[in-house]
Structure 1
């Protein structure tokens, strides 16, 4: 998710503002790093100064904000798309929750919350507590979604449409690959469920973009040896986590924090 900066940003772990990203790209270019596509990335050696940028889930602003920036700076990028996010009217409850917690008084009857004029720290605490609660209960998510719809509280900008996905993949610098069907935690799923996430997402996206899908990013970045062996047996050439270490043949990725990524890249002077 690419956004402009704001004061209350509990979802900041999945956000980066475009100014920070631009600064990172320009700094890397000054240090003679080359930005490459995910397809080309694997032809380089670990000591080569190359960087591949990936975005997860398929937020609408991957096209509106990121696409424009990457086209301007001539930087290849890959969007790992969760199929349910683009083919259904998916409700991004974590952003609706953020919108609720931004209001002067936090009133969410479906979650039993009514707090008058909380300070900033209290807002973060309320958000974190409710997020943990919603993560554990599908029923509460549905009730919360219903309440938000009734109150006219949206879940931010939403996700890419099918046409958006095709547009990104057919653009000069963009590519679309798989992030599964339902953005579920594979580490908690059976072999049958994992296989469904892998095969159905690949088939759907290949039909949509009329191109081969060779890369799979594991939702939430978590995978055990069992899941990894299943993933590796399917028709993907490369698998990615967000862990900072290798899991079998699964390739680690760095979550973007400008300072951390800059420090890692410039200190190690190597492939990122």
Structure 2
């Protein structure tokens, strides 16, 4: 559940899998088949570890020390760390003899500026920060974090879902995790309207101001403009409000993708060429969203669907997979399995049309 606590069952399986890959050396002998042209790494929070008993979003944060280890291992393994601007050439043009990695960070968290930026600057590493227009403007809904805060503080949580008030007991740690998992799943798989209606009511009931959470955690435009003076930093778009795009109608999706480009360009005073789909899994971004990102003028768009990238002159640059660096697996075993591509063996053997 925390870095030093008991992992959920599926993450215990992941940890065992990473250890097995390294024990038999699969990260070495499978590398020619699984590494591909390279990978795009995905991060969220970077900050000193807080060992909390209830931390359902712990997978979304790593320590600065682990970020430094990631860079060290990439370079030790002969993997070039490149700018997102150079990805198209490495995939579709001349891939080069060495594989590549791109460092990307989602949502625009202030801790990226406080902890990741100085470290990456010192190591001369290029990186991309995907920004949500609303978050940088001090408004919006980090609803998965709001949900965590409500459950952490309450012994009982009541929420309206499907027109009914439902109550969950959250006295014990086990109950808190079970409640978070159940509500997170229901909210994410329902409609955007239901998600926001339920979360608005929940915040009101438990006196939580959503904008205060965004202002606390996300960098503002002045901070982002200062960050962007670093030539190694690329600013990308991550929509206007961070919705689940597949749950939105066509007009809203077009606005979230296209207008976020215009809005962030205006705020930053520079072109915005790259886009990241919020949530980004197969249930959150599909063919419609990929098409609109291409038509909106982005050079690339990234998902959260796992996998490495294989060179092809016909590669789809608007549905690129990423490798999530998971805060529940901050070990060298996990890194080596992920960076080698061995953890994604089925995708490497049978690459989909999307992944080219």
TM-score, normalised on structure 2? 0.66
Secondary structure of 1:122's aligned partner: helix
Aligned pairs (5 A) from 1:187-206: 187-206=246-265
For 2:54, the equivalent position in structure 1 comes to 8
Which residue does 1:220 correspond to in 2? 279
1:37-116 mapped onto 2 (5 Å cutoff):
37-44=83-90, 45=95, 48-103=98-153, 106-109=155-158, 113=167, 115=169
Which range moved further: 160-169 or 255-264? 255-264
- Output the CA distance in 2 between the equivalents of 1:225 and 1:151: 35
Give the drift of 1:205.
Answer: 0.9
Q: Tell me the SS of whatever aligns to 1:264.
A: helix
Higher relative contact order (CA 8 A, sep 6+): 2
Q: Which residue in the other structure is 1:149 paired with?
A: 207
- Decide whether the 8 Å contact of 2:140 with 2:241 is kept in 1: no
Contact 1:191 1:230 in 2 (8 A): no
2:203, 2:96 → 1: CA distance? 45
Matched residue of 2:217: which SS?
coil
Q: Distance in 2 between matches of 1:151 and 1:202?
A: 27
Determine the C-alpha separation between the residues in 2 that align with 1:25 and 1:150: 38
1:178 is matched with which residue?
237
Measured after TM superposition, the shift of residue 123 of structure 1 is 2.0
Question: Residue 185 and residue 173 in structure 1: after superposition, are their counterparts in 2 closer, same or farther (change >3 A)?
Answer: same
Kindly indicate whether the alpha-carbon contact (under 8 Å) linking 1:225 and 1:248 is maintained by their aligned counterparts in 2: no
Listed as ranges, the matches of 1:6-45 within 5 Å are 6=51, 7-44=53-90, 45=95
Q: Any conservation in 1 of the 2:302–2:320 contact (CA below 8 Å)? A: yes
RMSD: 2.9
TM-score normalised by structure 1 residue count: 0.84
Correspondence 1:238 to 2:262: no
* Distance across 2 between alignment mates of 1:115 and 1:218: 34
**Counterpart residue number, 1:140:** 198
Q: In structure 2, do the counterparts of structure 1 residues 161 and 233 end up closer, same or farther at CA, with 3 Å as the change threshold? A: same
Q: Distance in 2 between matches of 1:69 and 1:148?
A: 38
Distance 1:197 1:151, change over 3 A: closer
Give the deviation of 1:260 after TM superposition: 4.2
Check whether the contact 2:137–2:220 (CA below 8 A) recurs between aligned residues.
Answer: yes
Q: In structure 1, list runs of 5 or more residues that go unmatched.
A: none
| Match of residue 41 from structure 2 | none
Deviation larger for 40-49 or 62-71: 40-49
Residue 155 to residue 25, structure 1, CA distance change in 2 (3 Å): same
Task: Establish whether residue 165 from structure 1 lines up as the match of residue 224 from structure 2.
Answer: yes
Q: Which runs of 5+ in 2 are unaligned?
A: 1-44, 161-165, 310-314, 343-356
Shift of 1:147: 3.6
